[in-house]
Chains A and B, each alone.
Chain A
Amino acid sequence: MSTTIASAPARPPRSLILWAGLILVGLHVATGLLSLVWLPYEPTGMVGMRLEGPSLVHWIGTDRLGRDLFTQLMIGSRIALVVGIGAVAIGAAIGVTLGILAAFASKWLDDALAATLDILIAFPTLLIAMLVVAASDTASLWSAIVALGIALSAIVARLTRILAKRVLVMDYITAARTSGSSWPKIVAIHILPNIWPTLSVNFALQFGLAVIAEASLSYLGLGAPPPNASWGRMLQEAQGTVYTAPLGAIAPGLALVSLAIGVNLLADGLRDSIDPTRRAR
């Protein structure tokens, strides 16, 4: 009886979730890497006719200019991964630093930082990113990545602060302090390793957020400028032809969804295997 409750029958086994996530994300990583060395066609080459349907020559057809959609989709995978990794790296660097500083700071500074973070989090990620892009001179892939990184950093900072504070009240920290350990040493030896599992799960979720947010920015014309084949731009360009050539919109949409779901499943699976309370007995 007790085992039935503990194993939560409605939930698929955690290894399945983890594997599904790994496969989906792995597929995109493999495609992105492959696109560096091989593409079916020149990315900007107008190799076919207008809006060709799927065929052996063009697997998912062509766009209005006659460019191969599969080639663009592959480049889209690469762009999505670069954006996800870049934005999460920037968000993590800023967020973890701020969060730890807040956790160690005096009460007054901590309160001020926490309030600022709460205000920042109250704004939608996309809105902050749009503000950052608008403030930079021209839209580029890098400005989008930096914008998303900054937008994500507030969420990371708040989480880091809470996790770090939880660790800071532990007896072994007091012990380390009394034995004369320096702050950087405490952070490196005690805090970071303790909060890392939770943070890394959160990073995976942020990765998915960043990919979707970049697609939204590109859809709005604020992301990678043409001819970068971001999925968001592909969606935007296919919008007018959605009735006559629906695959042009469906394909990047599916790619986006599969990567976002993959990352979420991966995060879920990771949490299950890291979190001891969820471990199957």
Chain B
Amino acid sequence: MTTKTILLAATLLAGVALPAAAFAQDFNPDATIRIGSLYEPQNLDNTAGAGQGINEAFNGNVYEALFQLTDAGSVEPKLVESYEASEDGLTYTFTLKAGVTFHSGEPLTAADVKYSIERVTAEQSKSSRKRSLSTITGIETPDDRTLVITLSARSISLPYNLSYVWVVNDAATDITAAEDGTGPYSLAEWRRGSALALERFDGYWGEPASNGEVIYTYFTDATALNNALLTNAVDIITSVQSPDSLAQFSGNPAFTVTEGASTTKELLAYNDRVAPFDNVQVRKALARATDKARLLNSIWGDYGTLIGSFVPPTDPWYVDLTGVDAYDVDSAKALLAEAGYADGFEFTLDTPDYDPHPIVAQFLQAEYAKIGVTVNINVITANEWYTKIYQERNFEATLQEHVNHRDIVFYGNPDFYWGYNNPEVVKLIADAEAAGSEAEQVEKLTQANRIIADDAAGNWLYLYPQIVVSAANVTGYPVNGLNSQFFAYDIEKAE
């Protein structure tokens, strides 16, 4: 009995002491961190349609902005020392940090920042935040460290929106294949189709990175990526995309599994311009005919969250709207009948060919059959999605994962691909942007959020979980997947 107790106590002690020892153990400051990812960037420029992969690899690591969206979701100054807004909110004066240099060795000047903002707002820019910065009417640079931005209307989220503007040296050329940023790492090598290597930048203005080198290795297949971690070919998987592969890692002391908040929403988007989706009752009926809890369980097992709207809990204007148009097949049928579709209707669902969209489409097909609605699944590639749906708006309904943070503002744009046009929401979102205080902004956007949910503007199926798996000797990585950014500079590796 006594022996048993002692043994138990010893085991408990060891259990507590071991991880502490692991943390206390000196990490190698020059370690190479090997990150496995499924998202290879198309190019290296976030204004040239490079995809989420470039955000993951470069944001905060290679490029920095005036402000930074932290892993916790707050906006903090980065390259800005201080800033002030005029009384009317139409003029912002920014003072840049001193002693910041680009990787090329040139010092950061206000002219570089002006150039960088203009790259995002330029006509050929494909930045998702281009429209948010459209209120900028003038940028002046009275001296090398001062930047004055004038606006046509108040814009309370200007600092937030500026966190999307990578500051690039204005003398840099061809930044789709090279870089010149101010971040803690510079680009060492990019092998297209396989890997992207970053090395610590010795002339960094801030705290140097906790590791010497970061290599992003790209996989096209999740199983191969999992195997790479199992065989110690990578140290971290940035975003696990299936709960079933976790069985190999959870419960195994050689690995750490974390679940954080993501901003990725699985959306059944209707083309609200075309019949029958221009009818609110039809959209509400489909929302009520969707057993989202069951769908989430099918795709993610016990992970993920139902949100009932387009706003995830990490956005300041989140409210739980899962109660709006909750699952109720009978009332769905009644609504359809009221809308004049008692016998149902038929529509084509353009479905991207990668997981989880095809399986989600089959789920919806089976669900909507119960209310007499026939879904024809048309599988398309990601490129086809971009041209057919995003550009040409030639669709009835589609599935898409929306990764952006604070993207409810898309519903304030009647020209967006889904064509939702409610003047009240457009006004609320514009007013929120012109708000004098954050409280007022939050209030307006919360109201807008409730209206789009009541209008069933889209069918927000679920919020992805953000699951990171790493080898146990690696710590300090970001656990949330906001905008799919992945800051690598605090990662420590014990060896």
Contacts and interface: CB of A to CB of B under 8 A. Distances in A.
Given A44-B369, A221-B353, A226-B361, A50 B297 contact: yes
A138 B359 contact: no
A226 B298 contact: no
Contacts of B247: 243-244
Most buried by B among A45, A64, A241: A64
A136 B140 CA distance: 55
A64 B379 contact: no
A265 B34 CA distance: 50
Contacts of B363: 46, 65
A240 B377 contact: no
Given A240-B244, A243-B245, 8 more contacts: A46-B366, A64-B299, A226-B379, A227-B377, A237-B358, A239-B223, A242-B244, A244-B247
Contacts of B362: 44, 65, 226-227
Contacts, number: 62
Given A50-B298, A227-B365, A65 B378 contact: no
A24 interface: no
B294 interface: yes
Nearest to A238: B244
B248 interface: yes
A43 to B, nearest CB: 10
A245 B244 contact: yes
A225 B244 contact: no
B355 interface: yes
Interface of B: 222-223, 242, 244-245, 247-248, 294, 297-299, 301, 353, 355, 358-359, 361-363, 365-366, 369, 377-379
Nearest to B299: A64
A53 interface: no
A139 interface: yes
Contact of A221 (B298, B299, B359, B379): B379
Given A138-B378, A227-B377, A240 B301 contact: no
A127 B488 CA distance: 42
A66 interface: yes
Q: Which 7 A-B pairs have the closest CB atoms?
A: A241-B244, A244-B244, A240-B242, A44-B366, A226-B362, A227-B362, A221-B353
Interface string A257-275: 0000000000000000000
Contacts of B377: 225-227
Contacts of B369: 44
Contacts of B359: 64-65, 226, 237
Q: Chain A interface residue count: which class?
A: 20 to 34
Contacts of A227: 362, 365-366, 377
Nearest to A139: B379
A273 B362 CA distance: 47
Contacts of B358: 221, 226, 237
A67 to B, nearest CB: 8
Contacts of B299: 64
Given A241-B244, A244-B244, A65 B298 contact: yes
A72 to B, nearest CB: 11
7 contacts: A46-B363, A50-B301, A225-B377, A226-B377, A227-B362, A227-B377, A237-B358
A243 B246 CA distance: 10
B266 to A, nearest CB: 14
Contact of B245 (A45, A51, A138, A240): A240
A152 B121 CA distance: 54
B45 to A, nearest CB: 30
A237 B245 CA distance: 14
Contact of A225 (B222, B242, B378): B378
B248 A243 contact: yes
A240 B299 CA distance: 11
A213 to B, nearest CB: 19
Interface in A45-84: 45-46, 50-51, 64-66
A243 B353 CA distance: 23
